[in-house]
Amino acid sequence: MRRSVLRFVAWTIAPHQEPDAEPITHAMQCAACGEKSLPFEEEVEPAQLWALKHAGRTRHDAYREIITRPWRAVPAEGASR
């Protein structure tokens, strides 16, 4: 019989806010046809403007906001790697 030993290490996870973190981005996706705006860094207004233009052109009126937020996992305090 083969035995495996797994070592569990506690980790914590938090939003990555260091200078080298990827930017937070906002995009908008049309719920009717699936078309998506580009991702815009930090501000939601450009994504909202895209949705308004899309609504004016297509009459599609339901949208979902797609927020991309970087997170970072690190070993918990006192845990060895």
The residue number with the shortest CB distance to Zn ion is 30
| H-helix segments, 1-81 | 45-58
Dmax (CA) of the chain = 67
Shortest spacing between CB 30 and Zn ion, in angstroms = 3
The answer to whether 51 touches 61, Cβ cutoff 8 Å, is no
DSSP 23: P
Name the residues that contact Zn ion, by CB under 5 A.
30, 32-33, 35, 58, 60
Of the pair 57, 81, the CB lying nearest Zn ion is at 57
CB nearer to Zn ion: pick between 64 and 72: 64
